[in-house]
Amino acid sequence: MQKTILHLDLDTFFVSVERLLNSELQNRPLLVGGTSDRGVVAACSYETRGFGVHSGMPMKMARELCPEAVVIRGNAGTYSKHSDMVTEIIKEQVPLFEKSSIDEFYADLSGMDRFFGCYQYASELRKRIIKETGLPISFGLSANKVVSKVATGEAKPNNQLKIDLGYEKPFLAPLSIKKIPMVGDKTYQTLRNLGLRKVKTVQEMPMDLMQRVLGKNGEVIWKRANGVDHTPVIPFCERKSISNERTFDKDTIDVVKLRGILLAMTENLAFQLRRGEKLTACIAVKIRYSDFNTYSKQMRIPYTSADHILIPKILELFKTLYNRRLLVRLVGIRFSHLVSGNYQINLFDDTEEALNLYAAMDRMRERYGDKSVVRASAMGARTIGRMHNPFNGQPPAVLAHRKQ
């Protein structure tokens, strides 16, 4: 059976979500990412690209190139929520799909031409996503993943493109070699040094020459330049871990600050677990010191998604890792061994008041954002932060609600 592969990509995803939440950001240059000089650009609007701004660039450089841009730190929980909305729509409509990143999907529509017409079906799917989520999305449709991905890039912004069978090479030929998936900056420079600029030149080269220049990757790149790719669509499966990290603007030795940040990250990840009806059975803490030495430690625990169980365990791991004599550059938390399920009531320790408190907190976060309600200690309350275990293994009674 002839393959038909669809590639879907949410356009400037983080930027689009921010504009969906705040219409005043429409048509304005926008940067999403770390706001400090050490931060990097996670996403940028099309308005900034004319200034030479691109994702992965240091935020300091991006601000210098486009000083009028609005800079937003962004919220991973919010982006995950909108990504999940798109995933659910695709899951309902497509028999086999792969989620390759938070904003990118592949779907195998092979054989559907006899029933619907693959291009029409993909068009209707795209229209539904735009209508129900408000997010712009582009797609490419062809006989394989590589050509479909390149086609999506050519279709952007917010459009669609089909490459008919047999037209893969003519479609790719006039494009820059940098548009071939797998050609990064280093490989691009190597090929440019050989005088290669367009895909057509690679298509006309012998494959063994590419192998001599780039080794095993040379064969892969040559095949992709010729529109040859047999990579299958990998069926989507739920993620097995979630994590969060914080790199400081200035290396710190403030233990109260470190504990407060770890507490806030734990609280946020626990909420993401409950929202996704997930439980974790393995937690880990990571510390990177100013000399860039990085250490981590993990612990197996009974399946849970409850803050008052996770927080003391995270602080316990932190205590075993932390060296008070060294400045800290980064801290991080990871929850793994995720399974589907809801928090089980502990008949001996949990109270109805505590369970109602969790439900109320989660409802506020769903409505106002996942950082709308936090513990006072997570906001830097030093009197609470100095305590070895501020909650003594019990759910917190002290909360602070940020005004929206």
104 is catalytic: yes
Cα distances (angstroms) measured from residue 258 to each of 163, 386, 395: 52, 11, 21
N-term to C-term CA, the chain: 54
6: nearest Cα among 102, 101, 138: 138
Alpha carbons 404 and 399: distance in angstroms, whole number:
16
103: nearest Cα among 83, 85, 122, 89: 83
Alpha carbons 226 and 209: distance in angstroms, whole number:
15
Q: CB neighbours of 345 closer than 8 A, spacing ≥ 6?
A: 355
Q: Is the dihedral of CA 82, 83, 84, 85 positive or negative?
A: positive
Annotated binding site for Mg(2+): 9, 103
From the centroid of its chain, how far is CA 186? 24
104, 154, 219, 316: which one is catalytic? Answer: 104
Q: Where are the alpha helices (DSSP H) in 134-214?
A: 145-155, 168-172, 185-193, 199-204, 207-214
* Residue given tokens 């089909």 in the structure block: 162
Radius of gyration of the chain (CA): 24
DSSP state of 302: E
Beta-bridge partner residues of 99 = 105
Alpha carbons 12 and 31: distance in angstroms, whole number:
10
Nearest-5° Cα angle at 377, 345 to 348: 20
Cα distances (angstroms) measured from residue 395 to each of 172, 334, 357, 361, 375: 58, 21, 9, 12, 11
Q: CB neighbours of 392 closer than 8 A, spacing ≥ 6?
A: none
Alpha carbons 361 and 381: distance in angstroms, whole number:
19
Q: How many CB atoms lie within 10 A of CB 400?
A: 12
Alpha carbons 16 and 25: distance in angstroms, whole number:
9
Annotated binding site: 9, 103
Reading the block at residue 94, the tokens are 């497509």
Reading the block at residue 318, the tokens are 């932190």
How many residues are there in the chain? 404
- Catalytically active residues are 104
